[in-house]
């Protein structure tokens, strides 16, 4: 069975990812993780996350995928043993030495990170031989190349299907190091490729009012999911541990529905529907990366006018409260707004807000305080952890 693998930057996002359809979630610990600025997990939180995952019959992976320098190895073995004691399902690793130490000192399952830029079955074979059970391929492959690697490999193959694309080979970039002294390969990437630059030809400035950037459009592969499933890929991976709850829920939910439709029927009836739904959580333009044709200029973002607004996420359903629905507010909304509710396995439904109360039944002119619990009426059945967003922005 194909695995849908989602990111999570904290426990709330982890729980949302599972509830909205992820079969597995990957998180970063406070050591050896490439997202140093994310809300990374302590060992106690990792243990709690693993318990939650296994209660649902799902899996938890922890990244230990920095490209380490000598000073990064202090405490490595103790940390790996701590992860083993937390009962996680696998670690995601870039350094062969960390692979070796994990196999020597623990019984942890090891997955090879995309940081290794594995683009051929010979490299997969090397990592199989040193003990890896899965390899996350580099993002610079098309579907036919991926299929060949799957056919010639014993290890499970994991492929990125959604999220940010790197302007370099899977993170092997030194722009951030050079400009900000933040090491992209040890968790500090400043996304320097996404900055806006003036262009010069010698001493002559050739960029006018439109500033230049060099980043790729984000990856969105909905139309390639059937081909990847047919190719025998084991795991489909969404990127974005620093993304919002709304982003995680929407993206996981859309891919879950599409995967389930294809497995059940052998076809997808309407790709446009899924593309429209997933666009509600994206604020950058997307393309299919390398999965189809070789990328050209249309796959790049060259100016900051490419940013697009997302649907405003306004709240999470907590449950019934007398004749009302209690909602934890996340963004401003007011009476007469048209809102949209979606949840695990449910298509979005809209309604108009009639009135808003606090939990002491005081009438409010708006829900304006983040995480305030408010009461509204919703004219159809909703469940805890359903999400609410504006439908008319």
What are the φ and ψ backbone dihedral angles of 41, each rounded to 5 degrees?
Answer: -90, 135
| Distance separating alpha carbons of residues 126 and 145, to the nearest angstrom | 18
Pairing type for strands 235-238 and 156-163 reads parallel
* pLDDT tens digit sequence for 312-363: 999 999 999 999 999 999 999 999 999 999 999 999 999 999 999 999 999 9
Question: In this predicted structure, what is the pLDDT of residue 34?
Answer: 58
Q: Taking the alpha carbons of 121, 236, 273, 251 in that order, is the dihedral positive or negative?
A: negative
* pLDDT tens digit sequence for 44-77: 999 999 999 999 999 999 999 888 888 888 899 9
Question: In this predicted structure, what is the pLDDT of residue 306?
Answer: 53
pLDDT in tens, the chain (393 residues): 899 999 999 999 999 999 999 999 999 987 776 555 555 799 999 999 999 999 999 999 999 988 888 888 889 999 999 999 999 999 999 999 999 999 999 999 999 999 899 999 999 999 999 999 999 999 999 999 999 999 999 999 999 999 988 777 766 778 888 888 877 666 677 778 778 888 889 999 887 777 777 788 889 999 999 999 999 999 999 998 888 999 999 999 999 999 999 999 999 999 999 999 999 997 778 888 889 988 777 777 766 555 566 779 999 999 999 999 999 999 999 999 999 999 999 999 999 999 999 999 999 999 999 899 999 999 999 999 999 999 965
Question: In this predicted structure, what is the pLDDT of residue 171?
Answer: 66
Whole-angstrom CA distances from 65 to 33, 146, 206, 222, 264 are 6, 22, 40, 27, 35
Question: For the chain, which domains are there?
Answer: 3-187+217-296 (3.20.20.70), 313-390 (2.40.30.10)
Contact call for residues 387 and 341 (beta carbons, < 8 A): yes
Question: In this predicted structure, what is the pLDDT of residue 190?
Answer: 79
What is 324-365 written as a DSSP string? Answer: EEEEEE-S-B-TT-EEEEEETTEEEEEEE---EEETT--EES
- Using the 8-state DSSP alphabet, how is residue 291 labeled? S
Taking the C-alpha atoms of 346, 350, 355 and 360 in order, what is their torsion angle to the nearest 10 degrees? 10
How far does CA 10 lie from the centroid of its chain?
12
């Amino acid at each position: 069975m194909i695995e849908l693998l989602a990111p999570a930057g904290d426990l709330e996002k982890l729980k949302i990812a599972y509830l909205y359809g992820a079969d597995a979630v990957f998180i970063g610990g406070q050591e050896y993780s490439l997202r140093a600025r994310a809300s990374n997990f302590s060992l106690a939180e990792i243990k709690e996350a693993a318990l939650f995952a296994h209660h649902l019959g799902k899996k938890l992976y922890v990244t230990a995928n920095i490209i380490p320098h000598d000073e990064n190895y202090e405490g490595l073995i103790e940390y790996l043993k701590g992860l083993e004691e937390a009962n996680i399902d696998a670690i995601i690793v870039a350094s062969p030495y960390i692979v070796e130490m994990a196999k020597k000192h623990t019984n942890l399952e090891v997955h090879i990170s995309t940081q290794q830029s594995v683009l051929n079955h010979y490299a997969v074979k090397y990592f199989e031989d040193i003990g890896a059970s899965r390899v996350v391929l580099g993002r610079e492959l098309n579907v036919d190349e991926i299929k060949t690697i799957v056919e010639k490999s014993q290890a499970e193959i994991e492929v990125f299907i959604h999220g940010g694309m790197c302007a370099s080979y899977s993170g092997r970039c030194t722009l951030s190091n050079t400009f900000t002294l933040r090491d992209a390969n040890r968790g500090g990437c400043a996304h320097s490729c996404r900055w806006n630059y003036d262009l010069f030809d010698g001493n002559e400035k050739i960029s006018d009012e439109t500033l230049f950037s060099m980043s790729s459009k984000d990856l969105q592969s909905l139309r390639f999911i059937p081909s990847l499933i047919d190719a025998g890929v084991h795991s489909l991976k969404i990127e974005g541990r620093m993304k919002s709850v709304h982003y995680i829920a929407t993206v996981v939910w859309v891919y879950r529905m599409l995967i389930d439709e294809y497995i059940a029927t052998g076809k997808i009836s309407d790709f446009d529907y899924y593309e429209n739904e997933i666009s509600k959580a994206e604020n950058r333009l997307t393309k299919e990366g390398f999965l189809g044709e070789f990328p050209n200029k249309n796959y790049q973002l060259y100016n900051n006018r490419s940013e697009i607004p997302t649907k405003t996420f306004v709240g999470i359903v907590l449950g019934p409260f007398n004749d009302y629905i209690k909602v934890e507010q996340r963004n401003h909304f007011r009476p007469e707004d048209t809102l949209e509710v979606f949840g695990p396995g449910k298509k979005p439904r809209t309604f108009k807000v009639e009135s808003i109360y606090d939990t002491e039944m005081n009438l409010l002119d708006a829900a304006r305080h983040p995480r305030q619990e408010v009461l509204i009426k919703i004219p159809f059945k909703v469940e805890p952890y359903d999400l609410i967003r504006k439908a008319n922005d």
